Structure 1
Amino acid sequence: MTIPEPETGGVRVDASDAQTFVTSLLVAHGLSTENAETVARGLVQADLRGVESHGINRIPSYLARVRNGVLDPKAEPTLAQITPVVAQVDGHNGFGFLAAARGIDAAVEMARTFGIGMVSIKHSNHFGMSAWIVRRATDAGMMSLVFTNSSPALPVWGGKSQLMGVSPIACGAPGGHDSKPFILDMAPSIAARGKIYKALRRGEKIPTDWALDSEGKPTDQPAEALKGVMLPMGGPKGSALAIMMDVFSGVLSGSAFAGGVTGPYDMSKPGDVGHFLVAVKPDLFMSLDEFRERMDVLYQRVVGSDKMHGVERIYFPGEIEHLTEEQRLKDGIQYVQDEIDALNAEAERVNVAKIRTM
């Protein structure tokens, strides 16, 4: 593992131009400027961090759902305070980014006063990369947990049909005085399903241990993988984690669960996704200064561990993504031409300016 090197080839887009382009597309489809900027920021942040499967290339599918009437671009999330430290957000079938932003901000404010805040979110949609929500909390000086459920793509262990979602588990904590925040964002599958869609868009093959085709056989073809099932990491462990996401995000919230969530590429009905967010004040049991000092110690012990053969550097969770973001803020975000063409086709449809390339 090495520090990300400058990328070559493809089409480059400055992050600010990507933000402007996506915002204009969303406004043209009925979102307020403020809400469009929130959605665009989450998508661009994914591309900056190297999580292209959850970046601006999600826009065509989101807009198709808007045009098909199964995602309400004008919906505003509403919040109900349940207890002093618990609230629920109703996404009203709007963009998941908006429901999640409202939820994590509420959790952070409760944590400022009471030390902890918990928000359950119902009737939402796909909210992109979970790390942008974790980062919204760490930027506010809070630890956080971010759960969601998603459309069925994984079998339960021992089964062969799609039942559980590839639902990310994410959490974070502010960094120390000399270290970056701890940010974990991982799927319970060997790979995120969005990576298969990305490979399909780019005409690439996938590793044969990512998924099974419709006959239950390993495949390196993304189209065949999407007809079959993703494989959970660690066998029954990954399967159990996916069920856990459904319990906390779907069952608890009152949203869809047990295979009932509609995916972002399905135009048949609303998503009815559920989320579960927690914010925790890091200086509950010690001073903030001591907490940061302890985080520095943890960071140094992790990255300074003895390395296995062939490893040049050990990274703290979220560090590679941070380094990638620094590189892409300087050099631009790289896309393939087909991805740019698909985005520009959306621009032509609503008569907004095409994406500006470097």
Structure 2
Amino acid sequence: MAETTSDPPKQYVQSHAAHAFVQDLLTHHGVKPENATIIAKCLVSADLRGVDTHGINRLPSYLARVRAGVLNAQAEPTLSQLTPVVAQVDGHNGFGFLAAHMGMHSAVAMAREFGIGMVSIKHSNHFGMSAWVVQQALDEGGMMSLVFTNSSPALPVWGGREKLMGVSPIACGAPGGEGQMPFILDMAPSVAARGKIYKALRRGEKIPGDWALDQDGQRTEDPAQALKGVMLPMGGPKGSALAIMMDVFSGVLSGSEFAGGVTNPYDPSKPADVGHFLIAIKPDLFMDLKEFKERMQYLHEKVVGCERMAGVDRIYFPGELEQLCQVEREKTGIPYVEAEIQALNKEAELVGSQRIQSVSSK
């Protein structure tokens, strides 16, 4: 693999232009306009937050699955109310964004009335960045939330060498204090998200040597070789156990695939059958909201204001870096490399939808 000596030049796209591009492209593939709006918002929000691995560059892989008939672009999720605080969503092999959006909307509604809402989701697909589901809980009801999903095998269990567990993110959130950004945690149980490997491959970049093993079990900086091998769990057995936990709550409990059965979102051979698990919680269950926010404000101040280790200029609250990135990208636009722009416009040309428009390059 050729080494890169500098970052490739970027083209900047305003978020509203990216949103319009995604919505038009999806509707040309049979997605209802209101559903295309939801999906576009979720994908663009990932790019705004700097989670480029889960943004609009995922579209070619999603649409390849649509064309192969293993993802139903016209499917509508359905909800079954099981108890006053428990529901299940069947994604019917449609876009995971739609199933998760319906699920969190239901969880928030239950939590608003009963204090907590829990939703299991089956027969779904990849839903991108988990943080958008957390943000939905915050936006719709100021709710705390837990967001789990399982995913296709990429990690070995600790002590193993085969791909068995997914790089399945665990996410949660809570409202912040007055005038503060909320607490949003979105992390994978691997050293790095697998999407970062695909991003490096797409951009012709190397990866750090502690991210993955090649198919011979050797550490590698080549993303192509890493994708033939396995990702490495963070913290050894701890990351492995977290990945298993995500499979229990998202796969086993929901009735979706598990134990290595979820299909890779880049594999157009068969349905993915992903499972999700969502919880929304009223933050003022045990105290009034004013006191809760004051306590969150105190926690924030203690975290960011604690004594720093050598070489550290600033300590960030979970989710703060991504939220600061969003503020910046809403001004400057979202950066993409030329290869990414070309891949997206190739998708547009296939169906005659609008091309993505950049505003500047550097």
Same fold (TM over 0.5): yes
Residues in 1 aligned to 2:317 and 2:8: alpha-carbon distance in whole angstroms: 26
- Residue equivalent to 2:329: 328
Please show how residues 251-270 of structure 1 align to structure 2 within 5 Å.
Answer: 251-270=252-271
User: Which residue pairs with 2:156 in the alignment?
Assistant: 155
| Partner Cα distance (1:340, 1:135) in 2 | 27
Task: Say whether the 8 Å CA contact 1:249–1:276 is kept in structure 2.
Answer: yes
1:299 counterpart letter in structure 2: H
Is residue 152–residue 163 contact of structure 1 (8 Å, CA) maintained in 2?
Answer: yes
Gaps of at least 5 residues in structure 1 are 1-6
* Residue matched to 1:203: 204
Q: Secondary structure at the match of 1:72?
A: coil
Alpha-carbon separation, structure 1, partners of 2:314 and 2:179: 18
Q: Is the contact between residue 148 and residue 168 of structure 1 (CA under 8 Å) also seen in structure 2?
A: yes
- State the Cα distance separating 1:179 from its structure 2 match: 1.5
- Partners of 1:179 and 1:295 within 8 A in 2: no
1:270-297 CA-partner distances (Å, limit 9, x unpaired):
0100000000000000001111111100
Residue number in structure 1 paired with 2:37: 37
Counterpart check, 1:87 vs 2:96:
no
1:9-48 alignment to 2 at 5 Å?
Answer: 9-48=9-48
Alignment match, 1:117: 117
Report the 3-state secondary structure (helix = DSSP H, G, I; strand = E; otherwise coil) of the residue aligned with 1:300.
helix
> Residue 237 of structure 1 aligns with which residue?
238
SS across alignment from 1:185: strand
Q: Which amino acid aligns with 1:77?
A: P
Q: Secondary structure at the match of 2:269?
A: coil
Q: What is the match of residue 358 of structure 2?
A: 357
> 1:137/1:337 Cα in 2 relative to 1: closer, same or farther (>3 Å)?
same
Q: Structure 2 vs 1, CA of residues 109 and 29 (structure 1 numbering), >3 Å: closer, same or farther?
A: same
CA contact (8 A) 1:23 1:37 kept: yes
Asked if structure 2 preserves the Cα contact closer than 8 Å seen for 1:170 and 1:186, the reply is: yes
- Looking at structure 2, the residues matched to 84 and 353 of structure 1 have their Cα atoms a distance apart, in angstroms, of 44
Q: Which letter does structure 1 place at the counterpart of 2:45? A: Q
Aligned ranges for residues 1-358 of structure 1 at < 5 Å? 9-139=9-139, 140-358=141-359
Per-residue deviation at 1:8?
Answer: 9.8
Instruction: Identify unmatched segments of 5+ residues in structure 2.
Output: 1-6
Q: Tell me, what secondary structure is at the counterpart of 1:317?
A: coil
* TM-score, normalised via structure 2 length: 0.96
Using the alignment, how far apart are the partners of 2:8 and 2:104 within structure 1?
37
What amino acid does structure 2 have at the position aligned with 1:285? F
2:4 paired residue number: none
Aligned position for 1:3: none
* CA shift for structure 1 position 263: 1.3
Q: Percent same amino acid among aligned pairs? A: 71
Partner of 1:4: none
d(CA) in 1 for partners of 2:112, 2:197: 40
**SS of the residue 1:94 aligns to:** coil
Q: Hey, what's the Cα distance between the residues in 2 that align with 1:75 and 1:354?
A: 25
State TM-score, norm by structure 1.
0.98
Shift of residue 178, structure 1, vs aligned partner: 2.9
Counterpart contact for 2:203–2:339, Cα < 8 Å: yes
SS at match of 1:256: coil
Aligned counterparts of 1:30 and 1:88: Cα–Cα separation in 2: 25
CA contact (8 A) 2:47 2:55 kept: yes
Give secondary structure in 2 for the equivalent of 1:214.
coil
Q: Distance in 1 between matches of 2:35 and 2:29?
A: 12
Runs of 4+ more than 6 Å apart: none
Q: How many Å separate the matches in 1 of 2:23 and 2:63?
A: 12
Q: 1:190 deviation in Å?
A: 0.1
Q: Measure, in 2, the Cα distance between the counterparts of 1:284 and 1:157.
A: 38
Looking at structure 1, the residues matched to 326 and 320 of structure 2 have their Cα atoms a distance apart, in angstroms, of 10
Native 8 Å contact 2:9 2:338 kept in 1: no
Q: Does the CA-based 8 Å contact 1:178-1:296 persist in structure 2?
A: no
Alpha-carbon contact 1:232-1:239 (below 8 Å) kept: yes
Q: What secondary structure does 1:320 align onto?
A: helix
In the TM superposition, what whole-angstrom CA distance separates every residue of 1:48-106 from its partner, at most 9, and x where no partner exists?
00000000000000000000000000000000001000000000000000000000000
Does the CA contact (< 8 Å) of 1:199 and 1:206 recur in 2?
Answer: yes
Counterpart-to-counterpart distance in 2, 1:51 and 1:337:
18
Q: How many residues align?
A: 352
The 2-side partners of 1:78 and 1:348 are apart by 33
Asked whether the 8 Å contact 2:8–2:337 carries over to 1, the reply is no
Distance 1:301 1:323 in 2: 19
Amino acid at match of 1:212: L
Residue 19 of structure 1 contacts residue 41 of structure 1 at CA under 8 Å; is this kept in 2? yes
